[in-house]
Amino acid sequence: MDSQTESQSLPSNDMAAFKDVLSSSKHIIAVAGAGLSSASGIPTFRGAGGLWRKYDAVSLATTAAFRDSPSRVWQFYHYRREIVFKAQPNAAHDALAHFSFPGVRDAIAPGSTFTLITQNVDGLSRRSLARAAEVLHQPVPAPPDAPQPAILEMHGRLSDVSCTAYGCGNRWPNTDSPVCPALGGTEALLEAGVREPDIPLEDLPRCPKCGGLARPAVVWFGEIPFHIDEIFELVDKADLCLVVGTSSMVHPAAKLATKVREHGGKVAVFNVDRSKRDDQADFLFLGPCEETLPEALG
């Protein structure tokens, strides 16, 4: 498409019109992806320098890859943990976090509910919410005063690990850096593109409860996302869906906005670039979300 036809097919980018829709919305959700955290220095998956360019993340983010080489998969996740633990939330995280507080949101969208559904496993939205609670001197919005938790991390967290031993089911937060001594320093090898060492099973992270082999507690391809029933319920009720910094290519996150539109809800996309099905949105704000979101939710 040439730029003229492309611009004709672009949805509205009228911020005043969006704010009008926002002010009359009652059940608002945001679906976020890696673009939300890119201003925090977290590599996206598909962009330049993206994780899926440098490492075949799709094949690494699977139970088969972990079975074949837990050492390689752990080095990939250790590498990402080390980046994430050093990162800070950015203005886009903070805009969504502040909007999560009823005291703030009631001035913008009176009487509305809001939930952030994030595909990101970096924990930055949770950290931003905790930081906003301090700034606002208010408790983090969570049940019962907020009918649902403000953030649903549908693909889990890099800072959680879980046990792979049959029947154990242990899952615990682990922000150790490195997550185990044997992984220490391997992030430099990965960066340098050096063939990674094959770390013996016994030296990989183990379950403190049963000694079984631990894994990153994220959702791999072929696994069922966390909170999925709650997410579908929120989608069915939503009258406004913000789609922030995602290529909308990984399911089921990719189709949540479409479901909102199918029952008459509005969709607003915030992305630096064009993304799947953005032409079906009601609003498209092309630009860095760390700039467009604070304006949209301010």
Question: Contact at 8 Å (CB) between 234 and 30?
Answer: no
Q: Between 158 and 177, how does the x/- string for binding to Zn ion read (CB under 5 A)?
A: -----x-x--x-x-------
Cis peptide before 43 (omega within 30 of 0): no
Quick note: the x/- pattern for ligand BV8 over 164-203, rule CB under 6 A, is ----------------------------------------
Strands 171-173 and 156-163, bridge-based pairing: antiparallel
Single-letter amino acid, residue 109: A
Nearer to ligand BV8, 23 or 280 (CB): 280
**Is residue 39 within the footprint of ligand BV8 (CB under 6 A)?**
yes
Residue positions annotated with a catalytic role: 155
- Is 187 within 8 Å of 79 (Cβ atoms)? yes
Residue closer to ligand BV8 by CB (options 111, 222) is: 222
Residue 55 interacts, among Zn ion, ligand BV8, none and using kind-specific CB cut-offs from 5 to 8 Å, with none
Q: Give whichever of 65 and 141 is closer to ligand BV8, judged by the CB atom.
A: 65
Q: Was 121 annotated as part of a binding site?
A: yes
- Please check if 41 is assigned to a binding site: no
In the region spanning residues 46 to 85, those forming contacts with ligand BV8, defined by CB under 6 A, are: 46-47, 50, 57-58, 61
* 40 is a site residue for ligand BV8 (CB under 6 A): no
Rounded to the nearest angstrom, the gap between the alpha carbon of residue 234 and the centroid of all alpha carbons in its chain is 17
Binding residues for ligand BV8, total number by CB under 6 A:
41
- The three-point CA angle 156-235-23 to 5° equals 110
* Using rule CB under 5 A, residue 207 touches Zn ion: yes
Which one of Zn ion, ligand BV8, none interacts with residue 146, CB within 5 to 8 A by kind?
Answer: none
CA dist., res. 18 & res. 296, Å (int): 8
- Dihedral of CA 96/97/99/102: which sign? positive
Interaction site with ligand BV8 (CB under 6 A): 33-35, 38-39, 44-47, 50, 57-58, 61, 119, 121, 155, 218-225, 228, 245-247, 249-253, 270-273, 275, 288-290
